[in-house]
Amino acid sequence: MEQQKQGLVVAKLIPQKNPIEQLQVRFKRTEEGFKAWLSKQSLVVEAAVVTATSSLQGAAIGGIMGTITNDVSSTFTPPPQANLNPQAMASLQQAQALSGGPLVQARNFAVMTGVNAGIACVMKRLRGKEDVQSSMAAAFGSGAMFSLVSGLGGPNQVTNAVTSGLFFALVQGGLYQFGQKFSQPPVEDTRYLRTRSMLTGLGLQNYEKNFKKGLLTDNTLPLLTDSALRDVKIPPGPRLLILDHIQRDPELKGAKKK
């Protein structure tokens, strides 16, 4: 009995693993394994698999969106004399294409995501990289196919497909450039590497911005004085720690004598 009680106590002390985290880890491993397998396949197989899986994902998203909108396309009724007015019929087709029910939206999203992913996959394999040109080419194909399948636009399907493709490509190109600009990590300033290391070791990393404002680079460390640190608005306590570190560092102290 006593051993059982001890076992229960130990079991309670052992932290229980989060089932959601375990599921995420398993999913991540499965995804990595699938990508590794897919990268070893031929271009045709990889493009077909990527297109199919992306189409299924797009169809699911489109079906959900179509369910939420509750098939508002049924509210669009042809206006009087619409058969005699091509512009009115084109407007009606656009409204129906953009606001269909679950099946319509599932089809539209499946085409957009599938074609986009397939072209992007082929471009990456052929060019060996992902860049704005590949992204825009995939978006052009996606927009063109969406126009053809959904009936978006007027009676001239070829012109509408090209126009939609160009619109999708321009939007995708702008979004890609915008994302690249803000997703790139900031370039590390090599002039403050030793300064950053020193401040981090002293627990004073918050004062790195003061050094940068005063242009107190690594080359100025052996020359630092109390007045120089005061000029960049560093409090007395941190000033003392910094100066003491410089005095104790044989390399910095030797550089000062030179």
Q: What is the pLDDT of residues 25-75, one digit of tens each?
A: 888 888 888 888 888 889 899 999 999 999 999 899 888 887 877 545 455
Q: Which two tokens stand for residue 199?
A: 């401040």
Q: Which amino acid is residue 93, in one-letter code? A: Q
**Tokens describing residue 165:** 């493709």
Identify whether the C-beta of residue 115 lies closer than 8 Å to the C-beta of residue 145.
yes
Percent of the chain exceeding pLDDT 70 equals: 75
> Do residues 178 and 132 touch, judged by C-beta distance below 8 A?
no
Supply the DSSP string of 114-157, one letter for each residue.
HHHHHHHHHHHHHHSS--HHHHHHHHHHHHHHHHHHHT-SSS-H
Which two three-digit tokens encode residue 134? 């590949």
Note the pTM of the prediction, 2 decimals: 0.54
More confident residue, 214 or 96: 214
- What is the C-alpha separation between 120 and 127, in angstroms, rounded? 10
Q: Are 40 and 49 in contact (CB under 8 A)?
A: no
Model confidence band, residue 251 (pLDDT cutoffs 50, 70, 90): confident
